[in-house]
């Protein structure tokens, strides 16, 4: 039986999966202040998140990151599927970067010092799209 992952995708899936899994695990024990800060930033960009309590938001975010990280790390999950999850997750993070005041220099896309932490998520968006394209096109061949 052949696994649904190409050797060329192993390294980026491992690196990204480990990064996201670690981030999700770290959020499990977030205190009230940290949860309020994270929730506040997210709900300013995505107002529908205001319906959630800060601790519930962080619990869901943590669970989502753990699930996505595991999907990227597990070779039984097809690359296109893991890539779709990574694309959706990182698109939300890039949206946070683009829509949060003070993250970009005025009139452009270049990050401010504060925005660099969010701007770096563009590499995950590129990887996610690449995984989806690779997964779809390698099946078509």
Two structure tokens written together for 134: 């690779």
pLDDT tens track for 6-29: 899 999 999 999 999 999 999 999
Reference 103, options 94, 115, 92; nearest CA is: 115
Enumerate the H helices of 5-111 as residue ranges. 10-27, 32-45, 54-73, 79-99
Q: Provide the pLDDT for residue 5.
A: 85
Separation CA 105–CA 37 (nearest Å): 22
Query: Across the strands, what pairs with 111?
Result: 104
Query: How many Å is the maximal CA-CA distance in the chain?
Result: 53
pTM of this structure: 0.91
Per-residue pLDDT at 86 exceeds 70: yes
């Amino acid at each position: 039986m052949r696994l649904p992952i190409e050797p060329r995708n192993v390294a980026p899936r491992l690196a990204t999966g480990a990064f996201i899994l670690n981030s999700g695990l770290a959020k499990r024990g977030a205190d009230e202040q940290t949860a309020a800060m994270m929730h506040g930033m997210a709900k300013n960009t995505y107002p529908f998140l205001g319906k959630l309590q800060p601790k519930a938001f962080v619990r869901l975010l943590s669970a989502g990151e753990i699930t996505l990280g595991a999907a990227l790390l597990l070779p039984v999950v097809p690359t296109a599927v893991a890539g779709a999850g990574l694309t959706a997750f990182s698109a939300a993070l890039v949206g946070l970067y683009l829509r949060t005041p003070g993250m970009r220099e005025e009139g452009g896309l270049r990050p401010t010092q504060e925005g660099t932490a969010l701007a770096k998520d563009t590499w995950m968006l590129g990887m996610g799209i690449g995984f989806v394209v690779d997964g779809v096109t390698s099946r078509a061949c």
